Amino acid sequence: MDTQTLIYIFVGITFSLYIGIAIWSRAGSTKEFYVAGGGVNPVVNGMATAADWMSAASFISMAGILAFAGYDGSVYLMGWTGGFVMLALLLAPYLRKFGQFTVPDFIGTRYYSKAARVVAVICLIFISFTYIAGQMRGVGIVFSRFLDVDITMGVIIGMGIVFIYAVLGGMKGITYTQVAQYCVLIFAYMVPAFFLSFLITGTPIPQIGLGSEVADGSGMSVLQKLDSVLVDLGFTAYTDGSKSMIDVFCITLALMVGTAGLPHVIVRFFTVPKASDARKSAGWALIFIALLYTTAPAIGAFGMLNFVDKVDDTAYSEVDEFFPMWEGNGLLAFQDKNGDGVMQYRPGAAFEGSPEYTGETGPSGERLLSNTPNADSANEVYVDRDIMVLANPEIANLPGWVIALMAAGGLAAALSTAAGLLLVISSSVSHDLLKSTFAPNISAKSELLAARIAATAAICVAGYLGIYPPGWVAQVVAFAFGLAASSLFPAIFMGIFFKSMNKEGAIAGMVSGLVFTFSYILYFKLLDPAANTAENWLFGISPEGIGVIGMLINFGIAIAVASVTKSTPADIRKLVDSIRVPRGAGEAHAH
């Protein structure tokens, strides 16, 4: 069977599985729609959380980011896992004990204020839409690269699938499809990694392989070899970074705190039966995530080693067939600047922008480009970082079914995250804006209907953003983490640990943290991108890491304002006392 047929079969089987699960687990009540009935086993929830958390970017792009950034890529590895320690220790069990449906629920109730709830809803919607546009785009990209379907059609198919299980099944449908999606994506990620690690080091376990010797008789370890190969070509050593220490520190912290403050992750912990289960569940989630996150640096390093070995100093006419194949998808390109027919891979961009083919081929058979060559660099090869995951099975000559598995895995990663985000958007509209703020008298049945309508509308907006991605989407992913770190996290944290934090303090803190972080990112990313260099940054902190300062501002302002305004009412102090103690959590309840 050829690879294309295998891909159709794999993707078809996984999609039918997701739809089957959705039909089996339809939600009948608001409680099932918002928190899957509140009785999900902590290990199952951990697995669903892992799928929810690992997006198209984790699956497709992370290994590539690590391959090209080397040590600097560590910010993502530590940042996107360390946040789960904060969740398990500082937030999840208390929020579960509190026992309602959404993050704005907690903020609105704890700070006895509709204004606080609405501010939280605004933060949540902004964070979630920034994130979801990227997922829908990811679905389209996987379809177009593996199935020869154009991106628009791919996004529409993806929207259809998510519609079926998110709108029908709500949190209940999402939870069980996410479990299936986790199994698909982790299997798809690990299989090529085992092959690759075995091929390069003779050890099948990638985490060990990365610390072993290269099996080419040189006696060098993988990292030593990579360092020497890259330094010879003029790059920075792989194990050295080029970011400043304060920037690495702040980006890591902003990603950790941002992770702990992301609503679609927090809300997963509302679905387990008890407060102690929330802690356990965060631990399991991190184990499932760590499987992929500790493998990614190995794939990145092996992929880089393989890539340089196969491409640099190789005549185009003799290169392996993966090169021309991915050239067609625009992930690789060769511009023969010195006319010797041999590919030189060096630091710097080979040419301006992303590849634009003229449709003709050059003397060695390479596709010619209309891009202006970059005269400052001897580099002749354009590489998209996603190649490290997408093309790995071909670069390593793995069988066709492994490639089919990758396609199914990439789709699973994108769909599971998109569904989780859609759910928090729809529940914040139907539950927080309608039921709790503007239309308190609606019946449970109409609330459920409203949730389904909101989910449908959110799918359409997300699909539109996926098909016509505004230029700013890629630029503002930093927003999601920075805003979560500077607005939601401090408000939730102080709500649990500082009994004396009152309404005035929390609102002032959230608004100031949000406004500061938003303006800083807006200025450097959109208004004056030319000024986005270390000399102009506040304390040398890039927009990706500025959420840390926003968070400190939030804490500072909140504590200052709370100390000069009316103290917290007695019933709220009692509420805080009760969420601190696990006994009596019961099931998530309507209020």
Partner 1 sequence: MDDNATTDQTSEAENSYWRENIRLLVSLMAIWFACSFGAGILFRDFLDQFSLGGYPLGFWFAQQGSIYVFIALIFFYVVRMKQIERKYDLDD
Q: Which residues make up the interface to partner 1 (CB under 8 A)? A: 66, 71, 73-74, 77-78, 81-82, 84-85, 88-90, 207-208, 210-213, 221-224, 239, 245, 248-249, 252-253, 274-276, 279-280, 282-283, 286-287, 290, 293-294, 297, 497-500, 573-574, 577, 580-585
**How far apart are alpha carbons 21 and 1 in whole angstroms?**
29
Shorter beta-carbon distance to partner 1: residue 527 or 564: 564
The amino acid at 307: F
What is the nearest approach in angstroms of partner 1 to the Cβ of residue 294?
5
**How far apart are alpha carbons 346 and 334 in whole angstroms?**
12
Shorter beta-carbon distance to partner 1: residue 313 or 587: 587
**For residue 439, what is the enclosing H or E element?**
none
What is the nearest approach in angstroms of partner 1 to the Cβ of residue 387?
20
Shorter beta-carbon distance to partner 1: residue 28 or 584: 584
- Which pair of tokens denotes residue 419? 């569904």
Residue owning tokens 């479990």: 179
What is the nearest approach in angstroms of partner 1 to the Cβ of residue 578?
8
**How far apart are alpha carbons 435 and 329 in whole angstroms?**
48
**How far apart are alpha carbons 394 and 375 in whole angstroms?**
32
What is the nearest approach in angstroms of partner 1 to the Cβ of residue 500?
6
What is the nearest approach in angstroms of partner 1 to the Cβ of residue 259?
11
Shorter beta-carbon distance to partner 1: residue 66 or 418: 66
What is the nearest approach in angstroms of partner 1 to the Cβ of residue 560?
13
What is the nearest approach in angstroms of partner 1 to the Cβ of residue 296?
9
What is the nearest approach in angstroms of partner 1 to the Cβ of residue 569?
12
**How far apart are alpha carbons 145 and 147 in whole angstroms?**
6
| SS3 state of residue 336 | coil
**How far apart are alpha carbons 419 and 264 in whole angstroms?**
10
| SS3 state of residue 221 | strand
Shorter beta-carbon distance to partner 1: residue 270 or 498: 498
Shorter beta-carbon distance to partner 1: residue 77 or 451: 77
What is the nearest approach in angstroms of partner 1 to the Cβ of residue 563?
9
**How far apart are alpha carbons 14 and 189 in whole angstroms?**
15
**How far apart are alpha carbons 87 and 79 in whole angstroms?**
13
**How far apart are alpha carbons 90 and 42 in whole angstroms?**
18
What is the nearest approach in angstroms of partner 1 to the Cβ of residue 586?
9
Shorter beta-carbon distance to partner 1: residue 451 or 557: 557
Shorter beta-carbon distance to partner 1: residue 187 or 497: 497
The alpha carbon of residue 382 and the mean position of all alpha carbons in its chain are separated, in whole angstroms, by 25
CB-based contact 322:313 (threshold 8 Å): no
**How far apart are alpha carbons 250 and 361 in whole angstroms?**
47
Query: Which residues have CB under 8 Å from 413's CB, separation 6+?
Result: 51, 54, 55, 56, 58, 59, 60, 138, 181, 185
Shorter beta-carbon distance to partner 1: residue 78 or 233: 78
- In 428-522, where does DSSP find H-type helix? 444-467, 472-475, 477-483, 489-497, 503-521
Shorter beta-carbon distance to partner 1: residue 142 or 272: 272
| SS3 state of residue 202 | coil
For Cα atoms 332, 334, 337, give the angle at the middle one, nearest 5 degrees: 155
